[in-house]
Amino acid sequence: NAGVTQTPKFRVLKTGQSMTLLCAQDMNHEYMYWYRQDPGMGLRLIHYSVGEGTTAKGEVPDGYNVSRLKKQNFLLGLESAAPSQTSVYFCASRPSGILAGGPETTDTQYFGPGTRLTVL
Amino acid sequence: RKEVEQDPGPFNVPEGATVAFNCTYSNSASQSFFWYRQDCRKEPKLLMSVYSSGNEDGRFTAQLNRASQYISLLIRDSKLSDSATYLCVVNKPGGYQKVTFGIGTKLQVIP
């Protein structure tokens, strides 16, 4: 049981290049999220998904696209990278509905190890 | 006003000390509250939930004050291994369980 995995762990891009970050989870969770974390700021939600085939915008969606073709995978794409997208990207997942154990069981988000992206 | 506010610190405390962090939130309709721990260059991990009645787990105690809209985390008998950033997390009412993260409070326990 690997939990939430992210690939790649590190990447350096030049301005204008494109790339895709992959998030995979093996916990059969319905909800998945992409965040970015920057110094002096809390984690900010980029996009999220409440199930296979669905996606929605978060707080800072501009410049990013996502897809959730399979329940276990959530992809984050940068079509034309900009220096402002230099950040640490975290993927997270959590179950839906109400589970035994209360909010700590249902509402807890499980994070991947992160992808450090630098755009030059 | 930010949705979730935390003092970023750093809080430098000696081993064995007791330290407390507060976090204020702006949406009175929020229902779920958490403290996450984030080690340097690692992902956040759940430390504990914060229940209306308070929650204690070993040396850690979390409290919720709905009237004043803040949550607190108390760490007793600090260990070197407690050095980390502590993130306050509050749910966004309105479905799909989105949450707001505070910027985190950095704790450094010194020998």
Instruction: Give the pLDDT mean for B81-93.
Output: 92
Instruction: Give the pLDDT mean for B9-31.
Output: 94
Q: What is the pLDDT of residue A97?
A: 63
Q: Which residues of A touch B103 (CB under 8 A)?
A: 40-42
CB–CB contact A103 B87 (8 Å): no
Output the CA angle B80-B84-B87, nearest 5 degrees: 145
Give the burial class of B54: count Cβ atoms within 10 A of its Cβ; 0-12 exposed, 13-18 middle, 19 or more buried.
Answer: exposed
Within 10 angstroms of residue A53's Cβ, the number of other Cβ atoms is 11
Q: Do A38 and A95 meet the contact criterion of CB atoms below 8 Å apart?
A: no
Report whether pLDDT(A99) > 60.
Answer: no
CB–CB contact B97 A107 (8 Å): yes
Within 10 angstroms of residue B58's Cβ, the number of other Cβ atoms is 9
CB–CB contact A111 B45 (8 Å): yes
In sequence order, the β-bridge partners of residue B64 are B71
Whole-number Å distance between alpha carbons of B103 and B87:
7
**Mean pLDDT of all residues belonging to chain B:** 92
Q: In sequence order, which ranges of chain A are alpha helices (DSSP H)?
A: 103-106
Q: What is the pLDDT of residue B53?
A: 82
Report whether pLDDT(A108) > 60.
Answer: yes
Which of A69-78, A89-98, A103-112, B36-45 comes out lowest in average pLDDT? A103-112
Those of residues 46-65 in A touching chain B at CB distance below 8 A are 48, 50, 56, 58
Size of interface A-B (CB pairs under 8 A): 57
Q: Which residues of B touch A108 (CB under 8 A)?
A: 34, 46, 49
Report whether pLDDT(A81) > 80.
Answer: yes
Whole-number Å distance between alpha carbons of A9 and A45:
19
pLDDT band at A114 (very low <50, low <70, confident <90, very high): very high
Q: Is B9 helix (H, G, I), strand (E, B) or coil?
A: coil
b or e along A74-106 (b: 16 or more beta carbons within 10 Å of the residue's beta carbon)? bbbebeebeeebbbbbbbbbbbeeeeeeebbeb
CB–CB contact A103 B49 (8 Å): yes
Report whether pLDDT(A15) > 70.
Answer: yes
In the sheet with A19-25, reading across from the earlier edge strand, the strands are A4-7, A19-25, A73-78, A64-67
Q: Which residues of B touch A40 (CB under 8 A)?
A: 8, 103
Q: What is the pLDDT of residue B16?
A: 97
Q: What is the pLDDT of residue A47?
A: 96
pLDDT band at A102 (very low <50, low <70, confident <90, very high): low
Whole-number Å distance between alpha carbons of A68 and A48:
9
CB–CB contact A45 B98 (8 Å): yes
Report whether pLDDT(B15) > 90.
Answer: yes
Report whether pLDDT(A105) > 70.
Answer: no
Give the rounded percent of residues in chain A with a pLDDT score beyond 70: 91
